[in-house]
Amino acid sequence: MVTVLRRSYTIDELFQLKPAAAPAELAVNFDAVEFCALVAKVKEIQAAREEEYMAHNGGR
């Protein structure tokens, strides 16, 4: 019988492994700046539409 090692970590253990470095200093394998910009852009569009809607429909 083969025993497969199942790797598990408690929430506390994972917190202990959280790096002390600032986020910008941590290397990631995707373009995080581009991703954050995409999310920010969508938020901006939603906010602009909401504002336009309020202007035409006289909310508040």
Distances, alpha carbon 3 to alpha carbons 6, 9, 59, in Å: 9, 18, 64
10 binds another protein (CB under 8 A): yes
2 binds another protein (CB under 8 A): no
Total of chain residues touching another protein, rule CB under 8 A? 29
User: Taking CB under 8 A as the criterion, which residues in 39-58 touch another protein?
Assistant: 39-40, 42-43, 45-46
Which residue type sits at 32?
A
Nearest CB to another protein, comparing residues 36 and 54 = 36
Distance in angstroms (rounded) separating the CA atoms of residues 44 and 38: 10
